Each structure stands twice: as structure tokens, then as C-alpha cells.
């Protein structure tokens, strides 16, 4: 008699749209996990490259591949895809205890799924989200990512996000481990169907329901390379930054002013030959590098961030603000309209997913 397959504790759902460059490594890192019973569901979001072929190259008993349904009006592609994955998990078995939403550009370290599940249970967290180690290869990745993630760490301090007494909520969509009953209780991704920033929206829903979030930087568990060229980096942060920060124009101005201070000091040092201007240049440069250090990149990336990344970050903030203001946010062959509410607190503004503020304008599929 064949042994009865054990019901998985964890359903891993990987939405994938044109991810041929990264999906293979992601799935290989997932099927190699041990210490926890799990299933893997890849949702092909109408890819036009080899994404589906790569997913189907893995044994079907290890990786189940489904196609996302046609995109409903008012939904973002990712929310539609992950919802399809959750529905498939429900079909596969009566009820798994946990769901893991992870992006196709992630790589999971050995035994990290089991450790993450144990960590969530130990801390009585209904939602555990990891901020992965960011892999930067090209020049603009190395220069820009330290600045972006330093500002994100300032806006969403993990200790504050994890504090049940704080209203600040955040999550990183590259790794969200959530109790299925908590997910169902807040309506899942269907309740935030139109949200472009679906990870933060889901975290807010969980925290507002009185449930607990745990959020931390996790280079011990997962790493990612988000963008592989300048255009991807530009478009990806254009999609996100105006939603992540409550006053993007103000932050862009502040960033440019801070960036200009050491260069003004250096110019005055050469013009006046006064030693104190040299000292001012060194001091302000070190202060800016220290400001970026919280992003946990290496010192050479921090220097690139100070010199080139800060003005780039300011540009991306303003570009993102403009894209959202005019209601045209392109991403992966689709264009979304987003009109966030004006913020009335220190948290970034996110529109209500139940309203008609976000609608899908076009799809090339």
C-alpha cells in the first residue's frame, strides 16, 4: 500500500509574469527545502517569455503550474495571480495552516522555510515578512538601492512595524508568510484587489484587525535581485515610491539639499583654501554615508549611494509622484491608474481597494 501523502503545513505561492531570468533559481531553492511539509504553486500571469516552460520543467509532484485567470476590471495582475494560487491550494487539500507569498526573483537559503515557520510560531505572529538581502550588480542597482532601502528603513523601522501598539504596518511582498485563517479573516488579496502596493495594504489589514505582524531584515533566509537593468529599476520604483512615502516631493527636495551640502563645502574649500571647508566636506560626506548605512549594504555601495544614488532617488521620487498624479503607472506590459488619497498622518497614502480609485486601463495580453 502506498503511503498517504501528508497534508502540507505550508502552501508556497509564486506569481510569475515574464520571469524567465530568475524563476529557475527560485524554484530550485524552494524544492530543496527541508524540515517542513509544503507545496509549491506557480501562477503564470500570462507570460510571453519562457516562464511557463521553466516552471513546467520541474516535476509536477514538486511544482504545480497554473495560469492566472483573465484579469478582472479593477484588479492588479499580482493580486489576481496570488488569489488564483490561494484558490488552487484550497482545491488541493481541505486546509493548510500557512500561506507563503514569494516573488519569482527570490532565492531561499537552505532550511529557511522551516525556520521561518518556527519563527512565526515562536513570536505568535499572524504575518511574518522578511526584507531580503538585495543583490546589486549593475551600476545603478549598486548606487540606488542603498539609498532607497535606507529611506524605507527610516519610514518603516522593523521594530516599530513589529510593535502591536504602533499603527505603522509594512511588509515586503517578496516574502510574506501568513496564517491562512488570518488571511481569510481580512478578505485576502480580493479585499485589496486594486492596490498596487499590495504588500503594505495586506499588512495594514492584518494589523488593523488586531493581529500581530513580525517584520525584519533577513539575509539569513532569502535574497533577491529585484531589477536587472536601468529600465526595470526605473519603472519598478516609479510604480512604488509615491505610495511608500507620504510626501515624495518633500523627501526629494530634502534628499537633494542634503546631497548638495558636501559638494558646496568642497567647492568653497578649493575656492578659499580654508581647512575648515575641507573638514566640513569630509564630515558631511561621512554623515550621509552613515545615513545610508542602515540599508546594510557594503561600504563601496554606500559611497556610490552618496555620490550618485541620492540624486537618482530624488529623481525617482518625483517621477513616481508624477506618474501617479496623472494616473498612468506602467508595469510589465500593463498600465494602472492610481489616485491615492491625501495623507492625514505620517503613514503613506494608499487608496481604498473597495473604491473605484484604481482601475486597469490597459493590458497587452
- Please say if the pLDDT value at position 5 is more than 80: no
Q: What pLDDT digit, counting tens, does each position of 218-265 carry?
A: 999 999 999 999 999 999 999 999 999 999 999 999 999 999 999 999
The pLDDT-based confidence of 272 (bands split at 50, 70, 90) is confident
User: Domains in the chain and their CATH numbers?
Assistant: 10-132+172-228 (3.90.550.10), 139-156+230-333 (no CATH)
Instruction: Provide the 8-state DSSP code for 3.
Output: P
The predicted model scores a pTM of 0.88
The pLDDT-based confidence of 163 (bands split at 50, 70, 90) is very high
CB 233 within 8 A of CB 189: no
Q: Cα dihedral sign for 200, 89, 4, 1?
A: negative
- Please say if the pLDDT value at position 290 is more than 80: yes
Q: Report the mean per-residue pLDDT for the chain.
A: 89
**272 vs 88, more confident:** 88
pLDDT (mean) for 211-223? 97
- Please say if the pLDDT value at position 65 is more than 60: yes
Q: Is 344 exposed, middle or buried (0-12, 13-18, 19+ CB in 10 A)?
A: exposed
CA 247 to chain centre: 19
* Cell 490561494, residue located: 86
User: 106: which strand partners?
Assistant: 224
pLDDT (mean) for 342-362? 36
- Per-residue CA distances from 281 to 60, 183, 262, 267, 350 (Å): 60, 51, 5, 9, 39
CB 100 within 8 A of CB 113: yes
pLDDT at 281: 85
pLDDT (mean) for 270-296? 88
Least reliable range by pLDDT among 44-53, 109-118, 260-269, 345-354 = 345-354
CB 254 within 8 A of CB 268: no
- Please say if the pLDDT value at position 347 is more than 80: no
How large a percentage of the chain has pLDDT more than 90?
A: 78
Amino acid at each position: 500500500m502506498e503511503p498517504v501523502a501528508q497534508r502540507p503545513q505550508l502552501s508556497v505561492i509564486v506569481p510569475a509574469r515574464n520571469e524567465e531570468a530568475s524563476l529557475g533559481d527560485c524554484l530550485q531553492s524552494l524544492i530543496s527545502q527541508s524540515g517542513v511539509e509544503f507545496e509549491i504553486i506557480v501562477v503564470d500571469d500570462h507570460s510571453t517569455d519562457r516562464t511557463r516552460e521553466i516552471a513546467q520543467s520541474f516535476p509536477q509532484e514538486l511544482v504545480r503550474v497554473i495560469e492566472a485567470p483573465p484579469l478582472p476590471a479593477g484588479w492588479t495582475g499580482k493580486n489576481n495571480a496570488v488569489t488564483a494560487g490561494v484558490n488552487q491550494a484550497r482545491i488541493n487539500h481541505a486546509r493548510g495552516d500557512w500561506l507563503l507569498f514569494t516573488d519569482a526573483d527570490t532565492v531561499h537559503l537552505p532550511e529557511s522555510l522551516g525556520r521561518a515557520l518556527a519563527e512565526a510560531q515562536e513570536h505568535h505572529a499572524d504575518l511574518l515578512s522578511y526584507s531580503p538581502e538585495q543583490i546589486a550588480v549593475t551600476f545603478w542597482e549598486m548606487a540606488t538601492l542603498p539609498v532607497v532601502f535606507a529611506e524605507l528603513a527610516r519610514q518603516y523601522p522593523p521594530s516599530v512595524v513589529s510593535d502591536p501598539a504602533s499603527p505603522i504596518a509594512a511588509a515586503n511582498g517578496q516574502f510574506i508568510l501568513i496564517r491562512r485563517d488570518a488571511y481569510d479573516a481580512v478578505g485576502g488579496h480580493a479585499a485589496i484587489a486594486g492596490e498596487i502596493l499590495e504588500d503594505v495594504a495586506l499588512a495594514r489589514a492584518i494589523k488593523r484587525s488586531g493581529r500581530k505582524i513580525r517584520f525584519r531584515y533577513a539575509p539569513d533566509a532569502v535574497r533577491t535581485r529585484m531589477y536587472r537593468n536601468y529600465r526595470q529599476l526605473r519603472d519598478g520604483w516609479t510604480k512604488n515610491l509615491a505610495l511608500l512615502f507620504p510626501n515624495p516631493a518633500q523627501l526629494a527636495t530634502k534628499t537633494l539639499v542634503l546631497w548638495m551640502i558636501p559638494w558646496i563645502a568642497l567647492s568653497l574649500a578649493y575656492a578659499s583654501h580654508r581647512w575648515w571647508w575641507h573638514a566640513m566636506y569630509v564630515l558631511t560626506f561621512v554623515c550621509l554615508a552613515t545615513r545610508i548605512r542602515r540599508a546594510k549594504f557594503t561600504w563601496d555601495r554606500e559611497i556610490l549611494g552618496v555620490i550618485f544614488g541620492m540624486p537618482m532617488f530624488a529623481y525617482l521620487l518625483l517621477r513616481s509622484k508624477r506618474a501617479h498624479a496623472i494616473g498612468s503607472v506602467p508595469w510589465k506590459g500593463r498600465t494602472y491608474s492610481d489616485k491615492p488619497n491625501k495623507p492625514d498622518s505620517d503613514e503613506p497614502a494608499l487608496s481604498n481597494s473597495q473604491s473605484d480609485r484604481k482601475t486597469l486601463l490597459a493590458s497587452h495580453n
